[in-house]
Each structure stands twice: as C-alpha cells, then as structure tokens.
Amino acid sequence: MKIIALHTSDETLIKKALRNDSKAEQSLFNRHAPKMLGVCRSYIKDLHYAEDVMIQGFTKAFENLDKFRHEGSFEGWLRRIMIREAVDFLRSRRQLYFSDIEEAETVPIPAESDYDIEILQWLMDNLPNGYKTVMILYSVEGYSHKEIAKMLDITESTSKSQLFKARKMLQQQLATLSRKENG
C-alpha cells in the first residue's frame, strides 16, 4: 500500500523546485497565489494588472529560488518580491508620484451601508497611488518610514506626509459615509 502525503511543506517543495520539478513549482504557486494576488491587488487597482504583476513576481521568485535562505518564512520572502514588483509596476506606468499638495479630492462613496471589505478596498483604491502605497507599506506591511523612503526613492518626511494625507483623506471619506448612513 502506498502512502500519499496530503500536506507537503514549503521547504520540501522548494527543494524539489530547485531541481526544476514543475509540479513542486505549481504546488507552491497554488498554495501562495491567492495571498500574493491580494498583496498585488492592494497596490494595483486593476485586477488584471495585479494578476500580471503577481505572475511576474512568481517568475522572479522561481528564478531566484536559490537565494531564499530559509531564515524567515517563504511566504514573507515571496511577499517582499510581490511588493517590489507592484511598486516597480506603478513606477513604470508613472502612476507612483508624490507631492506636497493635495493630489485628489474626496470622491463620492457608494451607497452600501456596511464597512465591509469591498467598501474599504474601494476607499483605498480611490486614494492617490503615492498615498496608498505609503499607507500600505507602513500600516499593513510594517515598513518604517526610513525603509519606505529607500524603497520608493523619496525622503522620510515625504513618506510621513503621504501617510498623514492618506489617513486624513480616509477619515474624510469615512465621515462622509457615516453622514450618508445617518441621514
């Protein structure tokens, strides 16, 4: 009787993928793609572009798999690749810009009344990309302003001001939403 392993660890799959085992690569992709698409989508408004960036990120990860040192989680390593790919995508499309002036006005909020994930994603998507990128890097990913500044080639003070403006804009949007709900 043959025993079939139901769960294979990332470490085992990585070792197999390093030996060009396409099934192992496919397993790693299938295991991590949903979360990595979420990472890319948080930076990139258009789902199709986010999927393209995710595929590029996986391609880069598999090409550089030998550089993964097992010092942290594979998911964390992969996540950093996806973030860099998303930022590079925005930069290449000239959609990542930073300014000391208000870059966008508040936008009308959909009529839905619950603060569900779709509304919050919609609110984030309507932030200027500079605001949104810094906010996600700082508030979600946990990067410091110094790390963000280096990654985005901006000053620490620009990173801080973009975060402040993003929070302010989100607060305004949520206040508008709350007023609509309460009549």
CA distance 183 to 106: 19
DSSP, residue by residue, 60-115? HHHHTGGG--SSS-HHHHHHHHHHHHHHHHHHHTT-----SS------PPPS--S-
Residues 6+ apart with CB under 8 A from 174: 115, 123
Q: What is the per-residue pLDDT for 92? A: 86
CA distance 75 to 73: 5
Which ranges in the chain are annotated with CATH 1.10.1740.10? 10-95
Global pTM reads 0.75
Q: What is the per-residue pLDDT for 111? A: 47
Task: Just give the CATH number of 10-95.
Answer: 1.10.1740.10
Residues 6+ apart with CB under 8 A from 55: none
pLDDT (tens digit per residue) in 34-73: 999 999 999 998 999 999 999 999 999 999 999 998 888 9
> Interior CA angle at 50 toward 44 and 54, to 5°?
130
CA distance 43 to 132: 7
Looking at domain 99-183, its CATH class is: mainly alpha
pLDDT tens series, the chain, 183 aa? 555 555 578 899 999 999 999 999 999 999 999 999 999 999 998 999 999 999 999 999 999 999 998 888 999 999 999 999 999 999 887 755 565 444 444 444 444 444 567 788 888 888 998 899 999 999 989 999 999 999 998 999 999 999 999 999 988 888 887 777 666
Residues 6+ apart with CB under 8 A from 125: 45, 132
Which ranges in the chain are annotated with CATH 1.10.10.10? 99-183
Which residue has tokens 């996806």? 82
The dihedral built from the CA positions of residue 41, 35, 143 and 70, taken in this order, carries a sign that is negative
Q: What is the per-residue pLDDT for 18? A: 93
